[in-house]
Structure 1
Amino acid sequence: MSTPGVAVRTSRLPARGARRSRPWLALPVAALVLVLSIGVAVTIGPADLTLSEVGRSVATHLGLGDALGLQPLATLRDGMVWQLRMPRILTAAAVGAGLALCGAVMQSLTRNPLADPYLLGLSSGASLGAVLVLLAGLPLLLPVAAFVGAVGALALALSLAGALGTITPTRTVLAGLAISQLCAAAVSFVIFWSAKGDAFREVLSWLMGSVAAATWTSVAVAGGAVLVLGTLLALTGSVLDAFTFGDTAAAALGVPVHRARWILLIGVALLTGALVSQSGSIGFVGLILPHAVRLFTGARHRLLLPLSALAGGSFLVWADTLARTVFEPRELPVGIVTAAIGAPVFAFLLWRGNQR
Structure 2
Amino acid sequence: MHDASLTLFAGLSIILALLPLPVQWRARNSGTLLLITWLLIGNITTFVNGIVWWDSLKNVAPIWCDICAKLSIGLPLGITASSLCITRRLVMIASSTTVTFSQKQKQIALMVDLFLGIVFPIIIMIAHYAVQPHRFDIFEGYGCQATTWISIQSIVAVTLWPVVTSLIAAVYGAMAIKLFLSRRLQFQTLLRSSKSGLDSRDYVRLMALASVDILIALPLCTFSLAKAIANPMPYESWAAVHYNFSRVIQYPASQAFVYERVVLGTVLPRWFSPLLSIIFFLFFGVSIEAMGEYSRWVSCITSRLPKPLRKQDQQLPSFVPKLGSTIARPPGGEWKGASTVEESIVEETRSSDTEGLVDMTSTQGVAVAVRVERQVV
Q: Determine if the TM-score, normalized by the shorter chain, exceeds 0.5.
A: no
Using CA pairs under 8 Å that are at least 6 residues apart, name the structure with larger relative contact order, 1 or 2: 1
Question: Which of the five TM-score ranges fits, normalised by the shorter chain?
Answer: under 0.3
* Structure with the higher fraction of residues in helix conformation: 1
Structure showing greater Rg = 2
Q: Normalising by structure 2, what TM-score?
A: 0.23
Q: Normalising by structure 1, what TM-score?
A: 0.24
